[in-house]
């Protein structure tokens, strides 16, 4: 475990060095993103917090780093490590801690001391769909980044907010999830951006989503179809979800999820005021 953890941590530190070198705009460490690890203990499948190590590596050269986490679980370890550090803004969009591990990540967790206002949390109700998720993202993330004016970004792209993840209950499609990646990369345009993986427990989905991230970071266009031999072996016929595959969420649940997201965004804006 020590060797594997040191390897993924070094990967994120290398990614930070690569984007600081100016040679690359983005660097993707698919094995990184272990956001639950604390300074003095492992937690939630995470031994070392590579994200914090990558952020510290960036801070050797730049003044301000923004961390954005779209994993379905709250990015509690990264938040805790920089909760009182005004050089780092942490933003986490996740399924509410009322329903899911680690049980934290509410709008009133906004940072402390000089760092007040640099910890941002958007919790979602179970069965939140693309439209509701993106409405909250648009209401919070661009404005927060504009206010903080970071020099570099670290983004954690857990694949577990996808609807078929067995550990959580959000309903993002591959199309909705990749739309978030597009927005994040656009917000980081002209800045160094470190990209990592994160959680993801349906391995067929993880392979699809992170393949698309890799291509997007490299500026490559991939066809949606997957080579037949690979499909035969892993039963992955295409990269994106088939539209008919996504389960429908009942209207009453959708109303609940939309109202919850809007309430949490309002609470966040009030807490930051």
Catalytic residues: 36
71 near Zn ion, judged by CB under 5 A: yes
Length of the chain in residues, anyone? 273
Told to check if 69 binds Zn ion by CB under 5 A, we report no
35 binds Zn ion (CB under 5 A): no
Q: Which residue is nearest to Zn ion (CB)?
A: 199
Shortest distance (Å) from residue 91 CB to Zn ion = 15
> In the complex with Zn ion, which residue's Cβ is closer, 54 or 105?
105
Compose the 123-162 pattern: x for residues touching Zn ion by CB under 5 A, - for all others: -----------------------------------x-x--
Query: Strands of 26-29's sheet, edge to edge?
Result: 26-29, 193-196, 152-156, 65-69, 88-95, 119-124
Q: Are strands 193-196 and 26-29 parallel, antiparallel or unpaired?
A: parallel
Q: How far apart are CA 65 and CA 95, in angstroms?
A: 24
| Rounded least distance, CB 72 to Zn ion, Å | 5
CB of 34 to Zn ion, least distance (A): 10
Q: Taking Cα atoms as reference points, which of 158, 194, 181 lies closest to residue 11?
A: 194
Query: What sign has the CA pseudo-torsion 199, 205, 209, 214?
Result: positive
Select from 15, 14, 4, 8 the least CA-distant residue to 32.
Answer: 8
Choose, by CB under 5 A, the member of 101, 156, 199, 257 that binds Zn ion: 199
- Pick from 73, 74, 208, 216 the residue near Zn ion by CB under 5 A: 73
Task: Find the angle CA(108)-CA(176)-CA(8) to the nearest 5 degrees.
Answer: 70
Q: 20 or 70: whose CB is closer to Zn ion?
A: 70
Chain contacts with Zn ion (rule: CB under 5 A) = 71, 73, 158, 160, 199
């Amino acid at each position: 475990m020590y060797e594997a953890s040191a390897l993924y941590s070094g990967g994120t530190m290398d990614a930070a060095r690569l984007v600081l070198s100016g040679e690359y705009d983005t660097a993707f460490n698919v094995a990184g993103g272990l956001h639950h690890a604390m300074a003095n203990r492992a937690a939630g499948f995470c031994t070392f917090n590579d994200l914090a190590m990558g952020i510290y590596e960036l801070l050797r050269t730049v003044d301000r780093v923004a961390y954005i986490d779209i994993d379905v679980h709250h990015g509690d370890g990264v938040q805790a490590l920089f909760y009182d550090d005004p050089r780092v803004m942490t933003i986490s969009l996740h399924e509410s801690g009322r329903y899911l591990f680690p049980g934290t990540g509410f709008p009133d967790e906004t940072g402390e001391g000089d760092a007040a206002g640099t910890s941002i949390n958007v919790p979602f109700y179970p069965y939140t769909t693309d439209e509701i998720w993106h409405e909250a993202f648009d209401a919070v993330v661009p404005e927060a980044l504009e206010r903080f004016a970071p020099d570099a970004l670290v983004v954690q792209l857990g694949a577990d907010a996808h609807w078929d993840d067995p550990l959580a209950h959000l309903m993002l499609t591959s199309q909705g999830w990749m739309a978030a990646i597009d927005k994040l990369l656009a917000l980081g345009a002209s800045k160094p951006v470190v990209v990592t993986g994160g959680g993801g427990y349906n391995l067929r989905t993880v392979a699809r989503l992170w393949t698309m991230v890799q291509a997007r970071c490299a500026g490559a266009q991939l066809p949606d179809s997957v080579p037949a031999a690979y499909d035969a072996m892993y039963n992955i016929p295409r990269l994106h979800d088939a539209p008919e595959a996504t389960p429908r969420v009942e209207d009453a649940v959708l109303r609940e999820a939309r109202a919850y997201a809007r309430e949490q965004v309002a609470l966040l804006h009030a807490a930051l005021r």
